[in-house]
Amino acid sequence: MSALTLAAQRAALSAGRCSRDLTEEALARAASTASLNALISCDAEGARAAAIGDGPLSGIPFAHKDLFCTRGLRTTCASKMLAEFVPPYDATIVERLTSAGAVSIGKTNMDEFAMGSSNENSAFGPVLNPWDTTRVPGGSSGGSAAIVAANVVAFATGSDTGGSVRQPAAFCGVTGFKPSYGRVSRYGMVAYASSLDQAGVIARSAADCADVLQAMAGHDPRDATSVDRTVDDYRAALDRGVRGLRIGIARELFSAGVSDAMQTTVHRALHELEAAGAILVEIDLPSLPLSIPAYYVIAPAEASSNLARYDGVRYGRRAAAVKGLHDLYSRSRAEGFGTEVKRRILTGTYVLSSGYYDAYYLRAQQVRRLIANDFARAFATVDLIAGPTTPDVAFKLGEKTADPLAMYAADINTVAVNLAGLPAMSVPAGFIGGLPAGLQLIGQAFDEASLFAAGHALQSRTDWHLAMAPGAVR
């Protein structure tokens, strides 16, 4: 079996295979790759009972990141806090993909509450990278990237607060798309940092991401941050090509911390785009180094507020034999949350507390403006911005767990995009020592179409996105 794409799945359906066969095959592939630990819940029963209609994704099996609420199917956020939580409603994107005819086979593993860059913060155990099972798949959407790279399904949903779709896609050699903030509804997506969170998609190719995003995107009155703007025709954008498209090569995205091999590999991929007609221009994003400290103030601040809802009263874990109401709150939360979540809640509490608010939170929001202004200035002269998605290839399991700051520092090329609310995509860009490297393309707000055009142009000339991981089902 070659790389699983939407085109391959559709071809099978047009050749007379029935959707039930596709579902059974996907379930069998999920079972045979269970050692990767990419799924928290496998929903064979739901997948077999799914009504597929004749939507744009009819009969195509996929998986949802386990932070999208699914009615009647537990939604854990990879946390002990929600280990038994069965939502009474569907997230908007769950509804939309269901009505497009796609068949969910289950919920993918992730870092707890989407906080992490390695998938090692899951209460359900780490996910292994199909390219090298001694390495992390990235995070937080590690299960979604691994299950696509393992050839189990053609696509999976993800969420991206600081790189959580793009970074695992890069580490696993697949394509990850993070839309503009507000492009996709957050209704029913468990909140981490509300001004940064955005739902995205991981698939083999830009073309497949385009088809899936087309089904997910659009205004939703149930999410007040969802933006009421027309959704472009992404499929039409694929064939636009890149002739005359100006791509800014941001010096800071190639700076200290990015390995020499990564720089060389990504430059080689960019020269493919140049050969396809794109114009490469050097640009600067001088405030980029400040994006890590700004992110690690704003995201924990919003998280500490969002996660206040887990109090052991209405839903989620509740501690037993408590002594009073305060004890109920504190012990339910202590038992339910893992170390990284506690770390971020405490950080958020600190930066929002009396006496520190102006020095940290308000200042971080000003720095956020500085970063957004850098992007705005750059986009006055270029159509897209490019650089490596990550400083290096996937690291070893356990390599960074003892040093949270080293883990955070590796997010340097992705978090600024969320602070500015821009769309971005990671596309496979070649290999370093047998491990995948990712090229990140960043677009102007709501110009997802140009990203799809560039991604497709690159993938029409190269086949890195179709390479099979050693741990993939063949």
Q: Which residues are catalytic?
A: 65, 140, 164
The answer to whether 311 touches 289, Cβ cutoff 8 Å, is no
Following DSSP, what letter does each residue of 323-360 receive, concatenated? SSHHHHHHHHHHHHS-HHHHHHHHHHHHHHSTTTIIII
| Distance between CA atoms of residues 219 and 216, nearest Å | 10
Complex with other proteins: residue 28 or 362, whichever CB lies closer: 362
Complex with other proteins: residue 28 or 346, whichever CB lies closer: 346
The SS3 of residue 158 is: strand
| Residue whose tokens read 């929903």 | 43
Peptide bond preceding 226 in cis form (omega within 30 of 0): no
Is 362 near other proteins (CB under 8 A)?
A: yes
The answer to whether 47 touches 72, Cβ cutoff 8 Å, is no
Of the listed pieces 127-135, 364-372, 379-387, 392-400, which binds other proteins according to CB under 8 A?
364-372
The mark string for 419-438 relative to other proteins (x by CB under 8 A, - otherwise) is: xxxx----------------
Cβ within 8 Å of residue 315, ≥6 positions away: 85
| Distance between CA atoms of residues 37 and 405, nearest Å | 26
- Range 373-402, binding other proteins (CB under 8 A): none
Q: Which of 58, 99, 365, 401 binds other proteins (CB under 8 A)?
A: 365
The answer to whether 386 touches 443, Cβ cutoff 8 Å, is no
Q: Which of 44, 276, 281, 372 binds other proteins (CB under 8 A)?
A: 372
Alpha helices in 50-184 (DSSP H): 92-99, 142-149, 166-172
Q: Which of 171, 187, 360, 452 binds other proteins (CB under 8 A)?
A: 360
Complex with other proteins: residue 240 or 318, whichever CB lies closer: 318
Of the listed pieces 36-44, 105-113, 142-150, 361-369, which binds other proteins according to CB under 8 A?
361-369
Is 355 near other proteins (CB under 8 A)?
A: no
What's the min distance (Å) between Cβ of 470 and other proteins? 35
Q: Which of 32, 134, 264, 339 binds other proteins (CB under 8 A)?
A: 339
Of the listed pieces 40-48, 92-100, 339-347, 462-470, which binds other proteins according to CB under 8 A?
339-347
- Range 439-468, binding other proteins (CB under 8 A): 445
Count, residues near other proteins per rule CB under 8 A: 79
The SS3 of residue 224 is: coil
Complex with other proteins: residue 56 or 404, whichever CB lies closer: 404
> What is the β-pairing status of strands 279-283 and 198-203?
unpaired
Tell me phi and psi for residue 156, to 5 degrees: -145, 150
Alpha carbon of 241 to those of 244, 328, 461, 463: distances in Å? 9, 58, 11, 17
Q: Find the Cα–Cα–Cα–Cα dihedral 208, 210, 211, 216, rounded to 10°.
A: 120
The SS3 of residue 286 is: coil
Q: Which residues pair with 199 in a beta bridge?
A: 159
Of the listed pieces 50-58, 209-217, 253-261, 358-366, which binds other proteins according to CB under 8 A?
358-366
Is 349 near other proteins (CB under 8 A)?
A: yes
Of the listed pieces 2-10, 242-250, 383-391, 404-412, which binds other proteins according to CB under 8 A?
404-412
- Range 224-243, binding other proteins (CB under 8 A): 224-228
- Range 274-333, binding other proteins (CB under 8 A): 287, 290, 292-294, 296-297, 304, 308, 311-318, 322-331, 333
- Range 117-136, binding other proteins (CB under 8 A): none
- Range 177-206, binding other proteins (CB under 8 A): 180-182, 195-196
